[in-house]
Amino acid sequence: MKIFLIGFSNDIFRGVAEQLAKEPDFEIAYWTCRFPEKVDRTKFPEAVIHFSEDAIKGIPARDFNVFDFEPLGEELAGQMYECESHALTMMNRMHFSSSLGVDQRKRIYYGYLKYWNGILKKFQPEAIVFSTIPHMGYDYVLYCLAKNFGVKTLMFDLTRIPDRIVLMDDFKKGFLPLKKYLAEMKKDVNLADLDEKLRNYYSLMSDKEKIYYPLNIPTGWEKALKNKRRVVPSVKIRSILRAIKNKNLEEKLFVFLNILKRRISVKKMEEEYSRLQLKPDLNKKFIYFPLHVQPECTTSPLGGIFADQLLVVEMLAKALPEDWLIYVKEHKFQLVRTAGGYARFPNYYKFLTNLKNVNLAPMNFSSNELILKSQAVATITGSAGWEALFREKPVLAFGYPVYQFCDGVFRVSNFKECQEAILAIVKGFAPDKQKVLNFLSALNGSAIKANLNCGDSKEIRLSEDANIKNISEAIHNHLFKNHV
């Protein structure tokens, strides 16, 4: 089977690639990664290795001839309009994105479309395996093209349970083995039935005194918060010298000046937020909506149109009873990194507070308290929704979270669904604690025992070799054995 590996960059995924290359069932034809210099080319003599940073910029794989790729026409572009909208949003993660006009972004997008259409036609893969949900722009266009042409796609995602990941064909459909597992459950799960680690996890998640964070916090962000400074990419002397040597100093300086510009913008947004925030009145009835960090996969593509989080708040404000409030809280990491400025335009927070019954909660106000005192939590795919379920609070999910099949979750895609969810919540609907426990057990039982990266978290208990083995077997089984 001829396959593509997309975003296979860290030690685990390089190990998976090497394991798959040993198997006679697989032929690795194309591979994108962040560190091509770490790839042992002798093990992949026929594969095209594409530096992912080049792919993001729309630069073809090095020493690869694209002269014969056919020009982009109206028919294919017309079939990909939805993909185009999301791909343009994903370009927010580019350091120079704030200086890109719509036409410039479309130029990059059309480049993606032409290139990956040509790649698919040239290599004709039977399957494309993504290391995570495609969200870097180029990989999302490849994913959409694969769907359009009927090429099988696989992608991994986290579950929020330590040492458990899922493998899906389509992020909108979700992890279907979990859905099947739930449907085939013949009896309720008792807490005593769970292994010790999962029991401890459930107890920690259900603890109403604090929020449990089982996943790694990016080290740079954590240090930035402690040091009260922003995480800003720096231009080192070495990279400047390299830029001079490669005759692209002008481009490097352009990026650096753009970063400084964004720092100023982020500072202004901080000041705007500080002026508009209000201490929440927890005696009132309210929906809690914590904003997602952006740009990130959790909203684009997982939120679809609701990657524009203002649409969520507008819909909630229109659907809520007159005497209910919405408390919106910015994520503490959004304004500690320069890239965060790309997703918050001037007067973003003012727009929110101009909406009826919408208030901004201080960023340092306890999320746990807001969840506990709320009537419901609204999110796109965030951890606040997962935490709310264990605290018996209903969740309005405007995206496709891994927990979308859990009792207590209302999947919202339009105003009618939002109204119906709010009506049920007003009448007192709450998640069934037993069904949440059943869901946790089902997710744990149906997921793959592995991690997407080793890191240094105490929560990660699997060796690198075990991760490689389990992920490789999951890919093989998914492609060659019966699955949902």
For the stretch 377-418, pLDDT in tens is 999 999 999 999 999 999 999 999 999 999 999 999 999 999
Q: Look at the pTM and tell me if it is higher than 0.75.
A: yes
Q: For residue range 185-222, what is the model confidence (pLDDT) as tens digits?
A: 999 999 999 999 999 999 999 998 876 665 545 545 45
Q: Where are the beta strands (DSSP E) in 182-314?
A: 286-290
pLDDT value of position 337: 57
Task: Specify whether the CB–CB gap between 340 and 293 falls below 8 A.
Answer: yes
Non-local (6+) Cβ contacts of 470 within 8 A are 448, 449, 450, 462
Going across the sheet that includes 48-51, the strands are 48-51, 27-33, 2-6, 127-130, 152-158, 164-168, 448-449
The answer to whether residue 240 scores a pLDDT higher than 70 is no
**How far, in Å, CA of 272 to CA of 269, rounded?**
5
- State pLDDT tens for residues 14-55: 999 999 999 999 999 999 999 999 999 999 999 999 999 999
Question: What does DSSP assign to residue 59?
Answer: P
What domains sit in the chain, N to C, each tagged with a CATH number? Answer: 2-175+448-480 (3.40.50), 214-441 (3.40.50.2000)
| Gap between the Cα atoms of 87 and 17, Å rounded | 27
With beta carbons less than 8 A apart as the criterion, state whether 461 and 163 touch: yes
Specify the DSSP class assigned to residue 468.
H
- DSSP, residue by residue, 73-128: -HHHHHHTHHHHHHHHHHGGGSTTGGG--HHHHHHHHHHHHHHHHHHHHHH--SEE
| pLDDT at res. 343 | 77
pLDDT in tens, 104-128: 999 999 999 999 999 999 999 999 9
For residue 187, the model assigns a pLDDT of: 96
- Taking residues 318-343, report their average pLDDT: 84
**pLDDT at residue 248 tops 90:** no
pLDDT at 238 over 70: no
What pLDDT, on a 0 to 100 scale, did the predictor assign at position 213? 60
pLDDT of 239: 47
The pLDDT tens digits for 124-169 are 999 999 999 999 999 999 999 999 999 999 999 999 999 999 999 9
pLDDT over 90 for what percent of the chain? 77
Q: What is the mean pLDDT of residues 53-73?
A: 93
The answer to whether the beta carbons of residues 154 and 126 sit under 8 Å apart is: no
Give CA–CA dist 392/381, Å, rounded: 17
For residue 330, give the nearest of 259, 414, 272, 264 by alpha carbon. 272
Note the pLDDT tens digit of each residue in 418-468: 999 999 999 999 999 999 999 999 999 999 999 987 654 555 578 999 999
For residues 234-243, average pLDDT: 47
What is the arithmetic mean of pLDDT over 174-190? 96
Under the banding of pLDDT at 50, 70 and 90, the label for residue 230 is: very low
Amino acid 37: pLDDT:
96
3-state DSSP assignment of residue 214: coil
Q: How confident is the model at residue 348 (pLDDT cuts 50, 70, 90)?
A: very high
Average pLDDT, the chain: 90
Residue 472, CB-side half-sphere exposure with 13 Å CA sphere: 20
Residue 332: per-residue pLDDT? 85
Residue 235: the pLDDT is: 44
At 472, list the tokens: 């490789």
How much is the pLDDT for 456?
46
The answer to whether the beta carbons of residues 3 and 126 sit under 8 Å apart is yes
